[in-house]
Chains A and B, each alone.
Chain A
Amino acid sequence: MKNPVLEIKNLSTSFNIKGDYYAAVDDVSITVHENEVVAIVGESGCGKSALALSVMGLHNLKNTKLEGQVNFGGQNLLSLSRNALNKVRGKDIGMIFQDPMTALNPLATIGRQIEEPMDYHMKLSASDKKKRVLELLRRVGIKNEQRVYEQYPHELSGGMRQRVVIAIALSCDPVLLLADEPTTALDVTIQAQIMDLMKELQNQMKTGIILITHDLGVVAEMADRVVVMYAGQVVEIADVKELFANPLHPYTRSLLNSIPANMEGKEKLHVIDGIVPSLQNLDRTGCRFAPRIEWIPAEDHEERPEMHEAEPNHFVRCSCYKTFYFPEDRVGEREYVATESE
């Protein structure tokens, strides 16, 4: 078994809204191993970004409450002081942000921006530093690295900027990379390039990657293991092949059925009823997905949904997956009969 790099144990992140705390991340436990890509998938508001920011300690603690443990390199990141945390993030944990336009400083050259974390975390001479930056730029697939070194972000295209952001994340040889929607702001062909680049780098460097995304296509291409989140909770964890071949939780199955690329021809796409509940309106007892699959009888859900190991290494929350079906699969038959008789 490979060594775990990061262990998130019972992490809860709650935000203060008008005096009360509401959990956006609710009792989440995830382990990331060496050389493993763990994808966290879910729609907006499911807590995936709040989770990433908690790991990096980027929440404002004035109105955020963090509970649980984030174990990394033998210490609990949540209990570290700001100074101690600064020694870890940017060095052992690199982060790739969603929007390369805003993640870079428009006033500093690319070279300067990649050197910055090295100044902080490594003691290198100026010439060694430059050598390393050029090497990094080459590694992320930038061919004219000498020129790019001197350039400013606005002189580069979106794909190039994202490569620079990746180079910054890799600058101090991280053990873990946190990528928050790394390809969402990019064009399809550039997205493909960045995905292939990340796969290649990951193979070379053996880092663990947490990939946060809403795009199941990106998950299928990149991930080794997938964590599906809904309304702050983990609802399913499985190996990527297993998840796409045999999705269990109703939410995962609904999501997969609502993607056009998954359907042949002009069939109707599956629509999930209702909306994602807001933090304040979320019913925290029982199965959180139940209000959106009302045709499943209440007794099929658990009162306190737990994660079950349905197959080896395939975990799913609540028992409702056992009897879940799509209404259109059955109603379709009935409608057909009705129109025939008319």
Chain B
Amino acid sequence: MSLLKVNDLKVHYPIRGGFFRKVVDHVRAVDGISFELQPGETYGLVGESGCGKTTSGRAIIGLNDVTAGQMMFEGKDLAQMGRIERRKYTKDIQMIFQDPYSSLNGRKNILNTIAEPLRNFERLSAKEELVRVQELVERVGLTPESIYKYPHQFSGGQRQRIGIARALALKPKLIIADEPVSALDVSVQAQVLNFMQEIQEDFDLTYLFISHDLGIIQHMCDRIGIMYRGRFVEEGTADEIYKNAQHVYTKRLIAAIPEMNPEKRFEKMHLRQAINQEYQTEYNNYFDNDGRMYDLKKLSDTHSVAMQ
């Protein structure tokens, strides 16, 4: 059974205007997306800013209201649950945030930061709590003394690892990582990514990995969903997306990855121009008259594309 099954998820925000500020239209931030996460896999959600990838992640963890659709977590629909019932499942789904500078409370030391989820969900004595926090801190590669320090005393990579320790405190099953490394330097990025792979094995985690960086997504993810204007454009395994992209938008995204071989840069520039040309001429094959994408069509068991 899949760990999480998202079915036709929609998040719409009202636009108010006119007399009495009536609702005149909606911003369709997420407009009917469906995907499944199998236990132990890393699923990548990719797209440019404003495509709805973060909104989707936040809807799953409950930080946004859902307009319509189902989110079946281990067979139960999170979208239908009330606050109290949902609380039982918040333990199992945790989040790693983008910016380690603003996601840690500067006035709480590391002990209190990491112990907060424990205090919310488990009854532990002060001693037990300390032991648990120390274990976590060591697991993320910081010294045990550092639990009495404050966030400003750490570097960006260390802070991000503190954020990960906090997410791990309740032994979750699913972690939603929203651009976990985009605020970090390349070498620190590598450190955090390696570490995320390690703990995935140790803790049997499933990741929903949200990012705009296709290089990182390729490195981390088993399956990938490409989003554009709140809808899925293409979904498939990493190989299918990177070696056999079908949708012109996906091709465009992949062509935009900087070429690491300086010998080939003019080839790449011409490739991009060719794909932009294709995007212009074949727009109608991929988008309907309202500029909306078609529904996903299956090409194989794992690979589907939004085409007519």
Contacts and interface: CB of A to CB of B under 8 A. Distances in A.
Interface of A: 43-44, 187-192, 195-196, 199, 214-218, 220-223, 240-241, 244, 254-255, 258-263, 266, 268-272, 275
Greatest chain A CB density within 10 A among B187, B191, B193, B258 is at: B187
A220 B262 contact: yes
Contact of B48 (A187, A222, A259): A187
B6 to A, nearest CB: 24
A263 B256 CA distance: 18
Contacts of B218: 260-261
A195 B193 contact: no
Contacts of B191: 271
Given A188-B48, A266-B197, A244 B258 contact: no
Interface in B240-266: 252-253, 255-263, 265
Contacts of A199: 269
B14 interface: no
Which of B186, B193, B263, B273: most chain A CB closer than 10 A?
Answer: B186
B258 A195 contact: yes
A268 B268 CA distance: 27
Contacts of B193: 260, 269
Contacts of A263: 219
Given A196-B272, A260-B216, A188 B257 contact: yes
Given A241-B262, A266-B197, A271-B190, A189 B256 contact: yes
A215 B185 CA distance: 9
A240 B185 CA distance: 21
Given A214-B185, A216-B186, 12 more contacts: A187-B212, A188-B214, A189-B256, A196-B269, A196-B273, A217-B257, A218-B258, A255-B186, A261-B215, A262-B260, A271-B187, A275-B157
B189 interface: yes
Contact of B185 (A44, A187, A218, A244): A44
B38 interface: no
B253 A217 contact: no
Interface residues of B, number: 37
B31 to A, nearest CB: 20
Most chain B Cβ neighbours within 10 Å, of A188, A190, A195, A266? A188
B49 interface: yes
Contact of A217 (B157, B189, B258, B272): B258
Given A220-B265, A244-B261, A260 B155 contact: no
B213 interface: yes
B285 interface: no
A187 B220 CA distance: 20
A266 B186 CA distance: 17
A215 B260 CA distance: 10
A102 to B, nearest CB: 17
B194 interface: yes
Contacts of A275: 155, 157
What does DSSP make chain A's interface, helix, strand, loop or mixed? helix
A275 B268 CA distance: 35
Nearest to B263: A241
A261 B194 contact: no
A196 B216 CA distance: 22
Contact of A269 (B194, B259, B261): B194
Contact of B186 (A188, A191, A214): A214
A272 B185 CA distance: 11
B212 A188 contact: yes
Given A43-B187, A260-B193, A192 B255 contact: yes
A216 B261 CA distance: 10
B226 to A, nearest CB: 12
Nearest to B272: A192
Nearest to B49: A187
A259 B262 CA distance: 16
A221 B264 CA distance: 9
A220 B258 contact: yes
Interface string B154-190: 0101000000000000000000000000000111011
A123 to B, nearest CB: 38
Contacts of B197: 266, 268
A151 to B, nearest CB: 20
Contact of A244 (B49, B252, B256, B262): B262
A293 B257 CA distance: 30
Contacts of A262: 260
Contacts of A44: 185
Given A187-B48, A214-B185, A269-B219, A258 B190 contact: yes
Contacts of A188: 48, 212-214, 253, 256-257
A221 B219 contact: no
Interface string B46-67: 0011000000000000000000
Contacts of B259: 217, 220-221
A189 B190 contact: no
Interface in B32-55: 48-49
A214 B191 CA distance: 17
Contacts of A218: 258
B185 A192 contact: no
B153 to A, nearest CB: 12
Nearest to A256: B260
B243 to A, nearest CB: 12
A266 B265 CA distance: 25
29 contacts: A44-B185, A188-B213, A189-B252, A191-B256, A192-B258, A192-B272, A214-B185, A215-B186, A216-B186, A216-B260, A217-B258, A220-B259, A220-B262, A221-B259, A221-B262, A240-B262, A241-B262, A244-B262, A255-B186, A259-B186, A259-B215, A260-B193, A260-B215, A261-B219, A261-B258, A266-B197, A266-B220, A269-B190, A271-B191
